[in-house]
Amino acid sequence: MATELDIKNKAGNESNRKYCWQCDFVTRMSMTQCIVCGAPLYDKPKHKKAARSRSALQPEGKAKRLNKKTVLFSFLLLAGAVSAAIAFIIGPWKRSLPPTVSAGPANVKVLGDTFLGYSTLWDPQFQQKLKAADITIGYADELDQKMRSQILSTGEVDFMVTTINQLFETPSKGKIVAMWDWTRGADRLVLNNKQFPQVKDIQSLNLAATQAVQQGELLSIIFAGNTPSEYLSILLADKSPEFALEKFNIIRVDDSSTAWQRFQNPRPGEKIVAGIFWEPHVTQARRKGYVPSLSSANVQRSIVDVVVASPQVLKNNPNKVQQFVKAYYEHMARNSVDKTALRQQFEQLGNLTPSEALNFLQGVYFFDANCANHWMNGPTQLLRQRLDYTAKVLYGSGRLSAIPSNTDQLYEGRFVADLASSDAAASCPALQAAPVPQAAASPNRPPAPKPSTPAPASQTKTSINFEVGSAQLNSQAKSVLDEILEAAGQEDTIRIDATFVDSSSARALALLKSRTTAIEQYVADKRPTANIRTTLSSGGTESPNVTVSTGKGPKR
């Protein structure tokens, strides 16, 4: 597989960044006004030095890095009528912040990237609420994930937000202390490039790639390397036989925004047929007529973002960790019922319309304290299982040279445990993976051969009973599912079959779907790597019901 690492353009195109001449704020978001000081944003920096990105620097020692770009934070300490100003220099920040004043002890420094799901960290309202809790936050983009991990390991920053797959690909000395989100549609494969207007679905993408190979060429797919986009490409290739990575030239760049710009304006000779992006670039692609295709919704809980604390802050100031985690989850709790404030945040910081921001909000689940506690400390040890699974995927794809052991040492659940009131699976929302579109026969392609008949599933189908009008699993239903899972082999498919009569109302059908989703969620929590296959069938002659069986069968 041909590869390319875009080093010369590592900091991204100048045209897709905005600069504040007053406070040196830098962003790739599509905004016209600085979110820090309110001044207008310009397409070019006031001074050339301000345009330098930290991710374009080489790590040549802490002292040398500090001279590259500094941000002065002043902390005013009051003692009676006497005041003294203490100034110190923090590392070179791509997202520069003005001097802030705080009497609080928790001065938090965080690194992330341009994913809109992280925007809470630079949201002025959230920062104002932190100040009320005596917490001052400094946030910066660091697109180079390896650099981000190195900076965290040396203690130059307290936290970073990242995905669990990146923890393995660019390891640090920090530990996960909180769960941030999992995406279910906010990361997508995008098609219908101007060069290939006929490629509008996964089948036509496969056909175009196959025809190019027959002519001795490889079409290209572009995405940000060593990021969730690359990890998603691996999972989608495993999920859909129509998406075979070996048929493409892979172009890896530094960030989703860079990939998005180059997807629209390929270099001479490049034949970019598809790209993988995250928000807000997926929405921008949809606006311009491109076609979003397979996404993180097609793979259950594949892209999971977490908060990682540096070893120094864990050792020397665990109270700061607790304060930051507490402040974040309290903020999310205040927005758990009425998500209007979150939607407006995404509108402003991502330059989205209300409907686009709502679509993004529905494509990401943001953890609350209880669901985070279930993942980190619950009886199913879901985070540990997800870490193990992710490591195996990366090892199987050649991204890791060995499968790490003792993945439970990568996180500390005590900070979340102190905030949560439950570690039950019911704390988390039900999740159903969207099915991958199946290939259809076309005049340009012979029909696929019929697959051999799989081994029959277990002849025993066990009914799962619910309370009248309820989609909640009671203790009896959970006990039945536990027995089924205990008897099932590791490679067995868990089959969920739901039937309803043709005359079933829309409300009854919705209830039936909610029941199958509840079973899927329970099975996924008990066995995250299980192959789950759900079928809804009409034409039954009995009341709506759900049965579960196990057996060998095709993965889905």
The tokens for 221 are 């797919």
Residue 87 lies in a domain: no
Q: What is the pLDDT of residues 226-243, one digit of tens each?
A: 888 898 998 888 878 788
Alpha carbon of 325 to those of 105, 176, 291, 328, 399: distances in Å? Answer: 15, 11, 38, 5, 31
Confidence at residue 104, expressed as pLDDT on a 0 to 100 scale:
43
Q: Which of 140, 138, 144 is nearest to 58 (CA)?
A: 144
Taking residues 509-536, report their average pLDDT.
Answer: 81
- Domain edge (last residue) among 298, 318, 334: 298
Mean pLDDT over 146-166 rounds to 94
CA distance 416 to 425: 15
Q: How confident is the model at residue 74 (pLDDT cuts 50, 70, 90)?
A: very low
Question: Of the residues 278, 298, 318, which one is the last residue of a structural domain?
Answer: 298
Q: What is the pLDDT of residue 502?
A: 57
Q: Is residue 156 very low, low, confident or very high in pLDDT (cuts 50, 70, 90)?
A: very high
Q: How far apart are CA 518 and CA 472, in angstroms?
A: 7
Write out the DSSP string of 488-528.
Answer: S-TT-EEEEEEEE-TT--HHHHHHHHHHHHHHHHHHHHH-T
Domain of residue 494, residue span: 462-551
Ranking 4-13, 122-131, 532-541 by mean pLDDT, the lowest is 4-13
State mean pLDDT over 107-120. 90
State CA 211 to chain mean position distance: 33
DSSP state of 157: S
Has residue 310 been placed in a domain?
A: no
Lowest mean pLDDT among 161-170, 359-368, 498-507: 498-507
Does the residue 231 lie in any domain? yes
**Quick check: 330 pLDDT over 50?**
yes
Mean pLDDT over 272-280 rounds to: 92
What is the domain count for the chain? 2
Q: Quick check: 141 and 113 in contact, CB under 8 A?
A: yes
CATH number for 522: 3.30.1330.60
| Residue 74 domain-assigned (yes or no) | no
Considering only residues 44 and 65, tell me which one the structure prediction assigns the higher pLDDT.
44
Query: pLDDT tens across 4-25, in order?
Result: 333 333 333 445 667 776 666 6
95 occurs within a structural domain:
no
d(CA 119, CA 29): 10
For the segment 445-494, what is each residue's pLDDT rounded down to a tens digit? 444 444 434 434 444 678 888 876 777 888 888 888 888 888 888 778 88
Region 97-113 average pLDDT:
62
Of residues 190 and 77, more confidently modeled: 190
The pLDDT mean for the chain works out to 77
Q: Are 534 and 553 in contact (CB under 8 A)?
A: no
| 490: CB partners within 8 A, 6+ apart | 529
93 pLDDT above the threshold of 50: no
110-124, 234-248, 400-414, 462-476: least confidently modelled range: 462-476
pLDDT band, very low/low/confident/very high, at 344 (cuts 50, 70, 90): very high
Residue 162 lies in a domain: no
Say if residues 276 and 259 touch (Cβ distance below 8 Å). Answer: yes
Minimum mean pLDDT range among 246-260, 409-423, 510-524: 510-524
Question: What percentage of the chain reaches a pLDDT higher than 70?
Answer: 73
Tell whether the model's pLDDT for residue 434 goes beyond 60. no
Instruction: Name which residue leads in pLDDT, 171 or 45.
Output: 171
Look at residues 237, 269, 298 and tell me which one is the last residue of a structural domain: 298
155 domain-assigned: no
Within a domain: 363:
no
Looking up residue 218, the CATH number of its domain turns out to be: 3.40.190.10
Predicted pLDDT of residue 25: 64
Note the Cα 383 to chain centre separation in Å.
15
